[in-house]
Structure 1
């Protein structure tokens, strides 16, 4: 769970002495092998706060690819839950022109992206002190319980903690802090957005008018439950795909979902995880003229893949058995093998060890089922 910061630690880290210590120790290796030497160096520079300094240096390195606070203060748990900057900016765009109250602001990662004039609150005084450092003196920050509203007339953003009292990750919404249903009840009649883990069962939040799944660079990062005026009329499910250095795109259940089921064509397409998690595979297929291999499986096929995705040109396909696949790999001289699986109980790593591919070519094999029949598709991955 990481080091337990105190308010005294935060005050020191924000002081001139603390900033000097962080600067003096910034180049420490901070590896398991260097731990004893790192601790000794930190004790010499900051004898009363060496653990807080070392933890802050380590967390700043982890934060570099996630949040925009170059010299931020964090706890390990808060940083793990903090929204990636690109995702936070995307979500904040839906609040454009609104004043927003972030009722679980923690260290301020979401609040930093919200429109000017927005405010934050949290019960944890240490995280609030860190947020004050991260956001500057002009941001309104309050110590308050998210279930006891202290603002009026604002939109509301909440990001409940998803760990139990022992620090274990929990997927049960009633175990969130605060629980989902209690949040919804506390802000009934207010425009509310709640950030959740993408694996949560959305059926437990019938009060949500729109569920948005968001991925970044191929990894599904979050679900956001939108209510009231923040939701899009006529849309109950949305998938948004963010790519570093490329335009974002989105798809919703308001679009057509007519797509056929056909045998494998020239290309195999594995839709982005946000599309799959949002239940919008058929809508995605209809948009790009694709078909399903099986109506219960997310793999798609067609004569041409969507632009800008990693798609798979089909070399051959057939009934899957290990013996048959081993023969196919040998015939195509495959040695470097990526294995994708949907709809079959197959461990790709264990299968690769058993197959022992030894050729000079590279390939991707997709294992799935059509009806009850297990099939393989030998492919070459390409960026379209």
Structure 2
């Protein structure tokens, strides 16, 4: 967002229109509303600002719930913003540590600062991008405990600050969690984060794909997933880490939260035979390398060497696993799989894979699906072969 767009957005007339605007759902809605806004006397820039914020608020509800309806966003800022439930847990950790004033260095649109202020903490929110800082100030306006400052995070005077939260921006692609992210990819730098952690209790939000070899030995590393999507790695140091915890997987879902903790990476269980169920671990458990602990507590075992699917007889009552009943164990042969699916009338097929080079979308087309039935196909490796497991959730 450029300064001119910001100025157009922040006029009282436009802000009132943003609050009144329904969230457009289709391109036709956008076109119709743009025309209507022009007729009401809004300029093209103002109309664009109103409709953009309406669309972003609609998207932001997944992260901020009802809070989104009074916030302002940029596309990039919303993508990077911490989800409200995760931010609330960050804030609770600072509160429980006894901190009174927390510096949020690299506050972005203010999601974490909002959660901290809502718990009664005083917050110094620092953002070096002036436009983003103005939006953060607007978002934090209901909380007098929060102060927003335009400044480079590495230049902030921390005198009087009890604890620090850092959410470094990623310099390069990879924050979607699919590519390993190195220390050099962040700004402020992780060297700066190390310096801060030596002086203050510190939490740092990183990509879930952060290089594990770069995790400090004294840090509690907590991977967080939200409804199956691994969204962050939080490193806690300087007294914010829990005693005896160096690895944690926090799973947030529609019915609550569950967490698995350990003093170190868990040792894997030996590979075992395929049972009548196969279980898919939550991504946070895999990232935290706690699969062995889940296997031991559920009486399951890996289906193959280095494969993050577990198997056993019966469903697993665990918040860290999704269970599938196995209806057929097939060789990984397209003709055989196609024949089995047609015989069962499977027209809707979800394809999952681990340890096998396969493009699920292309493979689905090759199968020529037809029928009213639905199933899940798990393609993977056992100790001695590639298999396709035809399953039901």
Same fold per TM (> 0.5)?
yes
Local SS of the residue matching 2:285: helix
- Runs of 5+ consecutive residues of structure 1 not aligned to the other structure: none
TM-score by length of 2: 0.86
Match of 2:333 in 1: 321
Number of the residue aligned with 1:229: 239
1:125 aligns with 2:130: yes
Secondary structure in structure 1 of the residue aligned to 2:158? coil
- Could you say which residue in structure 2 is the equivalent of 1:20? 16
Distance 1:359 1:41, change over 3 A: closer
What is the number of residues matched between the two proteins? 374
**Any idea what the Cα deviations from partners look like across 1:8-38, whole Å, max 9, x if unmatched?**
65465444323333245x1374743455554
Q: 1:264 to 1:30 in 2, by over 3 A?
A: closer
- What is the rounded CA distance, in whole Å, between the counterparts of 1:266 and 1:30 in structure 2? 43
Distance in 2, Cα, partners of 1:257 & 1:287: 13
Any idea what SS the aligned residue of 1:94 has?
A: helix
Could you tell me how far 1:45 is from its partner in structure 2? 3.3
Moved more, 14-23 or 59-68: 14-23
- Equivalent residue runs for 1:103-252 within 5 Å: 103-114=105-116, 115-116=119-120, 117-136=122-141, 138=144, 139-152=146-159, 153-164=161-172, 171-206=181-216, 209-244=219-254, 246-252=255-261
Question: What does 1:301-320 align with in structure 2 at a 5 Å threshold?
Answer: 301-304=311-314, 305-307=316-318, 310-320=322-332
Query: 2:305, 2:92 → 1: CA distance?
Result: 35
1:253 — aligned with what?
A: 262
Q: 1:56 — aligned with what?
A: 53
Q: Retained in 2: the 8 A contact 1:148–1:186?
A: no
- Alpha-carbon contact 2:298-2:318 (below 8 Å) kept: no
Q: 1:208 to 1:82 in 2, by over 3 A?
A: farther
| CA deviation string 1:123-179 (max 9, x = no partner) | 1222222122111261222222211232234211111112459x9999443132222
1:184 Cα deviation from its structure 2 partner: 2.1
Question: Any idea what SS the aligned residue of 2:62 has?
Answer: coil
CA contact (8 A) 2:8 2:49 kept: no
Shift of 1:186: 4.3
Q: Deviations over 1:237-281 (max 9, x none)?
A: 21110012x121111233875634211112110001111121111
Bigger helix share? 2
Per-residue CA distance 1:270-308 (angstroms, 9 max, x = gap): 001111121111111112221111231010011231245
Distance 1:185 1:223, change over 3 A: same
Corresponding position: 1:345 with 2:357: yes
**Residue 88 of structure 1 corresponds to which residue in structure 2?**
87
- Please name the residue that 1:279 is paired with: 289
SS at match of 1:327: helix
Q: Normalising to structure 1: TM-score of the pair? A: 0.87
SS of 2:286's equivalent in the other structure is helix
C-alpha separation in 2, matches of 1:375 and 1:346: 12
RMSD: 2.8
Unpaired stretches in structure 2, ≥5 consecutive residues:
none
Return the alpha-carbon distance in structure 2 between the equivalents of residues 66 and 158 of structure 1: 19
Q: Distance in 2 between matches of 1:13 and 1:212?
A: 38
CA apart distance, 1:189: 2.8
Deviates more, 1:35-44 or 1:355-364: 35-44
What secondary structure, in the 3-state scheme, does the structure 2 residue paired with 1:314 have?
strand
Shift of 1:57: 2.3
